[in-house]
Amino acid sequence: MPKRVVILGSTGSIGRAALDVAQHLEPRVRVVGLAGGSNWKLLAEQARRSDARALAIC
């Protein structure tokens, strides 16, 4: 069973790097949620690529 993670600040530089690491660790890690700032287009693209079910724009 994979570890489920939520990436806060996924549209920032550290968040993008964390998302890349999580995707390289599949199937051991599954991204279930993302939170980002004002860049909603990038957040939507990240959600499509990671199949995250929960999103938040802060």
Q: What is the CATH number of the domain that holds 7?
A: 3.40.50.720
Q: What pTM does this model have?
A: 0.91
Q: Which residues contact 36 (CB under 8 A, 6 or more apart)?
A: 9, 10, 11, 12, 15, 42, 43, 46, 55, 56, 57, 58
Task: Quote the domain boundaries for residue 29.
Answer: 3-57
pLDDT tens digit string along 7-53? 999 999 999 999 999 999 999 999 999 999 999 999 999 999 999 99
Helical segments of 1-58, H only: 13-24, 40-50
Number of domains in the chain: 1
Q: What's the pLDDT band for 54 if we cut at 50, 70, 90?
A: very high
